[in-house]
Amino acid sequence: MELLANGENSGVEFKRDDIRLEVMPVPGTSIEVLDQAKLQNYIQTVINDPDVPQTPADWQERLLGLGFLVKVPTGEVMCTIAGLVLFGIKPRRYLRQAGIRVMVFDGVEKTYQARLDETLDIALLGRIHYEKSGGRTILEDGLVEKLLSVLRPFIFYESDVLDANSLRRDRGWMYPLNALRELVINACAHRDWTRFVDIEVGVYANRLEIISPGALQNFMTVEKMKAGQRSPRNPIIVEILRDYGYVDARGMGIRTKVIPQMREFNGTEPTFDATEDYLKTTLWR
């Protein structure tokens, strides 16, 4: 038996192989630490459910059913890891590994003189609005949008020289944005919550690294992952990300997006390093 991670005072114990980690309770939490506006946006707008909960009891029942809340043997109702990560207000306050640490360095090695060292602490999901035309507008950033906003000054370039024909400056991303977004979403969706470290994104002079805590799931290997095989560690998180359009139905983003987009962008291929502690993906400039 192993005491619930981060919850020495919860009195709740689980065998690690008896339950999915994402539905474990997070001690010190309750429905009040979930962002009500984002939950309302999810039910009413994202999944277009006409039966929106009207009372606190209705909300608790619905969120228990969705796996965002869980009742523990003491009778308390707590957020699950999935619920907190997806919709929590400052989730790192209760689950210290729930953020993304962003570091930027001038050279090719990690040094103490980082240009940026910041840990992002917001819910994975924001709020969105669907247009009648079928498009969508982001009303409030989630973790992925916030990360890309923080990274932009360091991975977006603008030439000092005007193009002679267009009289415009050459500008653009140093990495394919869709590939980068896919990797960040994968890291958030498939990380191991028993590892008490944040996802890490490092920008160097010649590369960008994304480190997702935890070994690859089950019998997954880098070769199988590149071939398109799937093995979701956190299915609730994956399904909700799919509802928001972050994850496609096939779940083959590495094979169909990341690898071909890097080849097309600069002729390189991403490097995947899998250890017992993490999966590190490197995009090369």
Q: Could you read off the pLDDT of 109-164 as tens digits, one per residue? A: 999 999 999 999 999 999 998 887 778 899 999 999 999 999 999 999 887 666 66
Rounded to a whole number of angstroms, the distance between the first and last alpha carbons of the chain is: 46
| pLDDT of residue 68 exceeding 50 | yes
pLDDT category, 278, cuts 50, 70, 90?
very high
Is the predicted pLDDT of residue 186 greater than 50, yes or no?
Answer: yes
Q: At residue 201, what are phi and psi to the nearest 5 degrees?
A: -120, 120
pLDDT of residue 89: 98
Place of tokens 């990360």: 147
Residue with tokens 């890891």: 81
Which residue's structure tokens are 């999944």?
Answer: 47
Helix then strand then coil, % of the chain, to nearest 5: 35, 25, 40
- Is pLDDT above 50 for 1? no
| Residue-wise pLDDT tens digits, 242-271 | 999 998 766 678 989 999 999 999 999 999
Does pLDDT of 191 surpass 90? Answer: yes
Instruction: Report the pLDDT value the prediction gives residue 232, as an integer from 0 to 100.
Output: 82
User: Amino acid letter at 214?
Assistant: G
On the 0-12 / 13-18 / 19+ scale of CB atoms within 10 A, 245 is exposed
Q: What tokens were used for 51?
A: 């039966």
Long-range (24+ apart) CB contacts under 8 A made by 164-169 are none
Residue type, 174: M
Average pLDDT, the chain: 90
Token pair in block for residue 56: 């606190």
The reported pLDDT for the residue numbered 93 is 98
Contact partners, residue 31, CB within 8 Å, separation at least 6: 56, 59, 60, 63, 69, 77, 79
List, in order of start, the domains of the chain with CATH numbers. Answer: 2-92 (no CATH), 100-284 (3.30.565.60)
